[in-house]
Amino acid sequence: MARFDIGKIDDVIHGRLRLGVMAYLANAEVADFNELKSVLEVTQGNLSVQLRKLEEAGYVTIEKGFLGRKPRTQVRISSDGRKAFATYLEALGRLIGQPPAP
C-alpha cells in the first residue's frame, strides 16, 4: 500500500464550503453565484469569502456581467483547479485505502 502523504491534502480545497464549490464545479464546469448559494445552502457573504480564496489560489475564475439589466456572477473551475481537485481526491482515496486511479 502506498504511504499516505498528508501534504497532498490541499488546505484551500479542504474547507467544507470550498470543497462543496469544487465538487459542484467539477461536474457543472460553470455555475451562477445564486445557483451555488442555493445548492450549498450558504449566505451570500460566506460564499463570497470562500470564492475569493479559491480565486486567489487560481482554482476558479469569476466573471461578472449582466443578463439583461440584472447583474450576473459566474464561477468557473480553472484547469489548475481541476488538477488540484484531482490531486486532493487521490490523496483522500489513499487515506481511506483506495488505490490511485490508473
Quick: pLDDT tens for 8-29: 789 999 999 999 999 999 999 9
What is the radius of gyration, based on Cα positions, of the chain? 15
Q: Count CB atoms within 10 A of the CB of residue 22.
A: 24
pTM value is: 0.87
CA angle 65, 82, 97 (to 5 degrees): 145
Give 99's DSSP letter.
P
Q: What is the pLDDT along the chain (102 residues), one digit of tens a residue?
A: 456 667 778 999 999 999 999 999 999 999 999 999 999 999 999 999 999 999 999 999 999 999 899 999 999 999 999 999 999 998 888 888 766 566
CA angle 74, 22, 88 (to 5 degrees): 150
**34 phi and psi, to 5 degrees?**
-65, -30
Domains along the chain with CATH numbers: 6-95 (1.10.10.10)
> What pLDDT was estimated at residue 41?
97
Q: For residues 69 and 5, give the distance between their C-alpha atoms in angstroms, rounded to a whole number.
A: 49
